[in-house]
Chain A
């Protein structure tokens, strides 16, 4: 009797820890070490999320519980596509030039795709799906409130309107995961107060979202959700879109309209900044690659660009020598990164350039001016990032994960009665929105993997796809 109480208590602790992860995942601590000569570029920069610590504690308690109560045979494994994806990601390390970068990335993938997912499917048995969903709504409300305050107060860069995340694009990607659930809930909701809550969430997110790709993803996926619901839902959606268009052009400030204009930036040409040439000159003149490598940090400088620079422009010595290139128009970095990713897939084929080795390998695949501005984030297109680092095989596993999840959700949506349909309708919209958003913002960052894996868990709960050994 005593044992069963203790077991129950252990289970409760694990469940509460997992639910806490769902609410605290955006809170991260950044630990950086700077060189005294350079306070801008850290030598080492590590983002530690609170959810990492909680996940570790939950894992230890769960493993102890499994060992003490001999439940090894009852462990459920993740769905096959996730196992294949992690397997291929591990195999891709053989092509990696930087094993440490690969292992760092692999730890992240295993932590979320395997550990977090296994903890979710093997625990939370007494927690209702609705409770998890409501918890996500509460977290989203808090994030939206913070973002709204930032939107109202901060007048500077639109990147600062980011809720609890690093930038507006990550906030947009997060909203793509939760807003379809809110919309589906609203379509079925009868309680007036909850309706008001959901409407306010939708209105706030439409206002504060300054990532145009996320807005596009939401507009498309909410239309699909309305189509699956009813004709009246399509009508309501159409009214909502007209209303949104009007407030975008007549009520909301210029920054909202600017974010829409920026959407075409991947194909846009731009002037090369003067700083670019100055940095290039300094780098060229120094010719001390190792010195710079240590001082600025490996991730902040692509060293072999020197070779590229010296081979392409051997005559150039001083900043003035670049004068004839000033004002010249060039393709923007994002487009060139996409092209470099395609080159990387072409060169490495099946297993890619190695997990986490995108920035390491980009210099040899980059066409155009030498890439020195590594402040520019990683590849934005999640599909190309996975394709470039884990090859066509990794991309296959990613498609398999997305589409098998969509198929599972659709099956459940078709077979369930009205009261349970809303969750699956919302999940259907969320996965579609993520698939669209992944073209513009990679979802494979720690902070977004918690809600993403939670969505996968919600869609596969009690699914026949789960493997039991």
Chain B
């Protein structure tokens, strides 16, 4: 059982790195203004990587990385491999690659919960209120949904899009806080983020030059 858990953990870790890899291809979608966030972020994570503090004991750092992963996921969803590699898939059947990777990670996580019989929910205020704001928006959507559909026959695509995003963010928060339970894993993820951010910044610099 221990080996199965290790394999599942490995699956989740590979998923994270695959999302980071896809994120690296999003350099064309990132504006120069957004680099203003990426450069300090890269420096900040690099400083933390070389510090001797046990990062697993700092709950804030785990939440921070979860938020960074949400950003990474957001950008990775915009990468259009279909156009890039000229693959012929109907438009309404297209699913972002990072979403497929996330669903595999989530499946591994669910199996792990079945084996362990438990999972952790962070009690950091930011994590709690993040979930709360997601629930708040979902409630608002559910209030407007029937009015829009039944009374005004307006489209609901953007509502479903928002609901989809809230669900994905919540899944990433849950996955990251459960996965990052020791210092080595945090350091490995830090290296992954630094590598993909560094790649994007260097590519942008080369494009400018």
Contacts and interface: CB of A to CB of B under 8 A. Distances in A.
Interface of A: 80-81, 84, 91, 94-95, 267, 331, 338-339, 342-343, 345-347, 349-350, 367, 383-384, 387, 392-393, 395-400, 403-404
Contact of B129 (A267, A384, A399): A399
Interface of B: 31, 33-34, 36-37, 67, 70-71, 74, 125-126, 129-130, 132-134, 136-137, 140-141, 144, 147-148, 152, 154-155, 158-159, 161-162, 165-166, 169
A397 B125 CA distance: 9
Nearest to A387: B137
A343 B140 CA distance: 12
A346 B158 contact: yes
25 contacts: A94-B37, A95-B33, A267-B147, A331-B152, A339-B154, A342-B137, A343-B158, A346-B158, A346-B161, A346-B162, A349-B74, A350-B67, A350-B71, A384-B140, A392-B130, A392-B134, A392-B137, A392-B166, A393-B130, A396-B130, A396-B132, A396-B133, A399-B129, A400-B126, A404-B125
Nearest to B67: A393
A350 B137 contact: no
A342 B140 contact: yes
Contacts of B70: 350
Contacts of A397: 129
Given A81-B125, A392-B169, A383 B144 contact: no
Given A343-B162, A387-B137, 11 more contacts: A80-B125, A91-B37, A94-B36, A267-B147, A339-B148, A342-B144, A342-B162, A350-B74, A392-B134, A396-B133, A399-B133
Given A367-B154, A392-B130, A392-B137, A345 B162 contact: yes
B162 A84 contact: no
Given A81-B125, A392-B130, A392-B166, A345 B144 contact: no
Contacts of A345: 137, 162
Nearest to A330: B152
Contact of A400 (B33, B129, B147): B129
Given A346-B162, A349-B165, A396 B137 contact: no
Q: Is the interface of A mostly helix, strand, loop or mixed?
A: helix
A346 B37 contact: no
Contacts of B33: 94-95
Contacts of A343: 158, 162
A343 B35 CA distance: 25
A84 B159 contact: no
Nearest to B70: A350
Contacts, number: 76
A395 B136 CA distance: 10
A349 B75 CA distance: 11
Contacts of A350: 67, 70-71, 74, 169
Nearest to A401: B129
Nearest to A346: B162
B37 A396 contact: no
A367 B155 CA distance: 9
A342 B158 contact: yes
B165 A387 contact: no
Contacts of A95: 33
Contacts of B162: 342-343, 345-346
Enumerate the 7 nearest inter-chain pairs by beta-carbon distance, A residue then B residue, closest first: A346-B162, A395-B133, A399-B129, A400-B129, A343-B158, A396-B130, A346-B161
A16 to B, nearest CB: 36
Contacts of B165: 346, 349
A395 B137 contact: yes
Nearest to B33: A94
A339 B144 contact: yes
Contacts of B144: 338-339, 342
B166 to A, nearest CB: 7
Nearest to A93: B33
B154 A392 contact: no
B117 to A, nearest CB: 30
A84 B126 contact: yes
A404 B71 CA distance: 26
A91 B166 CA distance: 20
A342 B141 contact: yes
A216 to B, nearest CB: 16
Contacts of A342: 137, 140-141, 144, 158-159, 162
A282 B136 CA distance: 41
A407 to B, nearest CB: 9
A339 B124 CA distance: 31
Contact of B125 (A338, A347, A383, A400): A400
